[in-house]
Amino acid sequence: MYTKYSRFDKPERAKDLFLEGARVVDPRSGIDQVLNLHIRDGQLKVGLSEPPQGTDVIALRGHIITPGWFDLHVHFREPGKEVAETIESGCHAAMNGGFTGVACMPNTNPPLDNAGTINWVVEQAKPFPVKLHVIAAATRERNGKELVDMSEIVECGVRAFSDDGAPIRNSVVLRHALEYSNMLGAKIFQHAEDSDLVCGGSMHEGEWSTRLGLTGMPGVAEAIDVIRCIQIAEYTGTAIHICHISTKGAVEWIRWAKKRGVRVTSEVCPHHLLLTDAHCKDYDTNYKMNPPLRSEEDRQACLDAFMDGTLDVYCTDHAPHAWEAKAVEFDQAPFGIVGLETAMGLALTHLMPHVLDFNALLERVVYAPCEILTLPIPRIADGEQANLTIIQPDAVYKVDPSKFRSKSQNTPFAGWELKGRARGVICRGLAFIKEA
Amino acid sequence: MSLLPHKHMLGLEGYSEQDITTIMDTAERMREILERPLKKVPTLRGITVVNLFFESSTRTRTSFELAEKRLSADTINFSASVSALSKGETLLDTARNIEAMKIDVVVMRHRSPGSCHFLAKHLDSIIVNAGDGCHEHPTQALLDMLTLREKFGTLKGLRVALVGDISHSRVALSNIIGLKTMGANVILCGPATLMPRGIEQYGVEVTHSLDDAIHRSDALNIFRIQLERQDVGLFPSLREYQKYFGVTRARLEKAVAPLTILHPGPMNRGVEITSDVADGEHSVILRQVTNGVAVRMAVLYLLAGGHPELSEPKP
Output the CA–CA distances (angstroms, integers) from residue B152 to A201, B70, B155, B160, in the order listed.
40, 28, 7, 11
Task: Identify the pLDDT of residue A436.
Answer: 80
pLDDT band, residue A242 (cuts 50/70/90): very high
Please check whether residues A74 and A109 belong to one and the same domain. Answer: yes
- pLDDT digit string (tens) for A97-118? 999 999 999 999 999 999 999 9
| Partners of A71 in beta bridges | A102
Please check whether residues B179 and B221 belong to one and the same domain. Answer: yes
pLDDT band, residue B313 (cuts 50/70/90): very low
Please check whether residues A87 and A159 belong to one and the same domain. Answer: yes
Q: For residue B262, what is the enclosing H or E element?
A: strand B260-262
Please check whether residues A280 and A158 belong to one and the same domain. Answer: yes
Output the CA–CA distances (angstroms, integers) from residue A173 to A144, A167, A170, in the order listed.
7, 11, 5
Question: With an 8 Å Cβ cutoff, are A212 and B198 in contact?
Answer: no
Please check whether residues A280 and A390 belong to one and the same domain. Answer: no
Question: With an 8 Å Cβ cutoff, are B117 and A331 in contact?
Answer: no
Task: Identify the pLDDT of residue B227.
Answer: 76
Domain annotation covers residue B7: no
Please check whether residues B162 and B121 belong to one and the same domain. Answer: no
Chain B touched by A220 (CB under 8 Å)? no
- pLDDT digit string (tens) for B15-62? 999 999 999 999 999 999 999 999 999 999 999 999 999 988 889 999
Domain annotation covers residue B11: no
Task: Identify the pLDDT of residue B81.
Answer: 62
- pLDDT digit string (tens) for A40-95? 989 999 999 999 998 999 999 999 999 999 999 999 999 999 999 999 999 999 99
Please check whether residues B243 and B215 belong to one and the same domain. Answer: yes
pTM of structure: 0.94
* A186-211: average pLDDT: 97
Rounded to 5°, the CA angle A339-A392-A99 comes to 40
Identity of residue B151: K
How many folded domains does chain A comprise? 2
Please check whether residues B113 and B142 belong to one and the same domain. Answer: no
Sorted by sequence, the CB contacts under 8 Å of residue B244 that are 6+ apart come out as B191, B210
**Active-site residues of A: which are they?**
317
| Partners of B12 in beta bridges | none
* B247-270: average pLDDT: 95
Q: Using CA coordinates, name the residue in chain B closest to A216.
A: B197
Domain annotation covers residue B75: yes
State the residue range of the domain holding A417. Answer: 3-65+380-433
Query: Looking at the predicted structure, is the pLDDT value of residue B314 above 50?
Result: no
Please check whether residues B118 and B210 belong to one and the same domain. Answer: no
Q: Rounded to a whole number, what is the distance in Å from the CA of A328 to chain B's nearest CA?
A: 7
* A252-256: average pLDDT: 98
Query: Looking at the predicted structure, is the pLDDT value of residue B147 above 90?
Result: yes
Please check whether residues B302 and B265 belong to one and the same domain. Answer: no
Question: With an 8 Å Cβ cutoff, are A207 and B117 in contact?
Answer: no
How many folded domains does chain B comprise? 2
Rounded distance between C-alpha atoms, residue A123 and residue A83, angstroms: 20
Task: Identify the pLDDT of residue B82.
Answer: 52
CB B224 within 8 Å of CB B268: yes
Query: Looking at the predicted structure, is the pLDDT value of residue B85 above 60?
Result: no
Output the CA–CA distances (angstroms, integers) from residue B83 to A243, A354, A427, B93, B135, in the order listed.
42, 55, 54, 12, 24
For B140, what's the count of Cα atoms within 13 Å in the CB-facing half-sphere? 29
Which residues 192-221 of B are in CB contact (within 8 Å) with A?
Answer: 196-199, 201
Q: What is the ipTM of this complex?
A: 0.92
Mean pLDDT (chain A, rounded):
96
Query: Looking at the predicted structure, is the pLDDT value of residue A341 above 50?
Result: yes
Chain A touched by B135 (CB under 8 Å)? yes
Rounded distance between C-alpha atoms, residue A215 and residue A407, angstroms: 30
Identity of residue A184: L
The CB density around residue A260, as the number of other CB atoms within 10 Å, is 10
pLDDT band, residue A364 (cuts 50/70/90): very high
Contacts of B112 in chain A (CB under 8 A): 329-332
Domain with residue A300: its CATH number is 3.20.20.140
Question: With an 8 Å Cβ cutoff, are A213 and B134 in contact?
Answer: yes
Query: Looking at the predicted structure, is the pLDDT value of residue B310 above 80?
Result: no
The CB density around residue B94, as the number of other CB atoms within 10 Å, is 18
Rounded distance between C-alpha atoms, residue B91 and residue A328, angstroms: 7
Domain with residue B153: its CATH number is 3.40.50.1370
Task: Identify the pLDDT of residue B134.
Answer: 93
Contacts of A211 in chain B (CB under 8 A): 13, 173, 201
Last residue of a domain, one of A372, A395, A413: A372
Last residue of a domain, one of A355, A372, A389: A372
Please check whether residues B113 and B144 belong to one and the same domain. Answer: no
Please check whether residues B284 and B300 belong to one and the same domain. Answer: no
**Least confident residue range of A49-58, B66-75, B153-162:** A49-58
What percent of chain B clears pLDDT 90, i.e. is strictly above it?
Answer: 83
Rounded distance between C-alpha atoms, residue B248 and residue A159, angstroms: 65
Q: Using CA coordinates, name the residue in chain B closest to A213.
A: B135
Mean pLDDT (chain B, rounded):
92
State the residue range of the domain holding B129. Answer: 17-136+292-311
Please check whether residues A246 and A135 belong to one and the same domain. Answer: yes
Please check whether residues B100 and B206 belong to one and the same domain. Answer: no
Select the residue of B13, B112, B201 nearest A331 (Cβ to Cβ): B112
DSSP per-residue string spanning A71-96: EEEE---TTT-TTT--HHHHHHHHHH
pLDDT band, residue A14 (cuts 50/70/90): confident
Calculated CA dihedral for residues B259, B262, B268, B270, nearest 10 degrees = 10
Contacts of B132 in chain A (CB under 8 A): 213
Sorted by sequence, the CB contacts under 8 Å of residue B167 that are 6+ apart come out as B134, B193, B194, B195, B196, B234
Output the CA–CA distances (angstroms, integers) from residue A299 to A113, A198, A248, A306, B198, in the order listed.
34, 19, 8, 10, 18
Q: For residue B150, what is the enclosing H or E element?
A: helix B138-152
Task: Identify the pLDDT of residue B87.
Answer: 63
Please check whether residues A119 and A26 belong to one and the same domain. Answer: no
Chain A touched by B133 (CB under 8 Å)? yes
Using DSSP's 3-state secondary structure scheme, residue B199 falls into helix
Domain annotation covers residue B202: yes
Please check whether residues B156 and B278 belong to one and the same domain. Answer: yes
**Least confident residue range of A10-14, B184-188, B303-307:** B303-307
pLDDT band, residue B133 (cuts 50/70/90): very high
* A302-309: average pLDDT: 97
Chain A touched by B13 (CB under 8 Å)? yes
Output the CA–CA distances (angstroms, integers) from residue B299 to A16, B70, B292, in the order listed.
73, 13, 11
Last residue of a domain, one of A372, A391, A418: A372
What percent of chain A clears pLDDT 90, i.e. is strictly above it?
Answer: 94
Helices (H) and strands (E) in chain A, counts: 14, 19
Query: Looking at the predicted structure, is the pLDDT value of residue A211 above 90?
Result: yes
Rounded to 5°, the CA angle A242-A246-A252 comes to 75
Rounded distance between C-alpha atoms, residue A125 and residue A108, angstroms: 16
The CB density around residue A405, as the number of other CB atoms within 10 Å, is 17
Domain annotation covers residue B233: yes
- pLDDT digit string (tens) for A121-169? 999 999 999 999 999 999 999 999 999 999 999 999 999 999 999 999 9
Query: Looking at the predicted structure, is the pLDDT value of residue A362 above 60?
Result: yes
CB A74 within 8 Å of CB A105: yes
Please check whether residues B172 and B259 belong to one and the same domain. Answer: yes
Query: Looking at the predicted structure, is the pLDDT value of residue B86 above 90?
Result: no
- pLDDT digit string (tens) for B195-229? 999 999 999 999 999 999 999 999 999 999 987 77
Calculated CA dihedral for residues A267, A273, A278, A284, nearest 10 degrees = -70
Rounded distance between C-alpha atoms, residue B263 and residue B288, angstroms: 8
Task: Identify the pLDDT of residue B309.
Answer: 43
Exposed / middle / buried, residue A30 (Cβ in 10 Å: 0-12, 13-18, 19+): exposed
Please check whether residues B65 and B21 belong to one and the same domain. Answer: yes
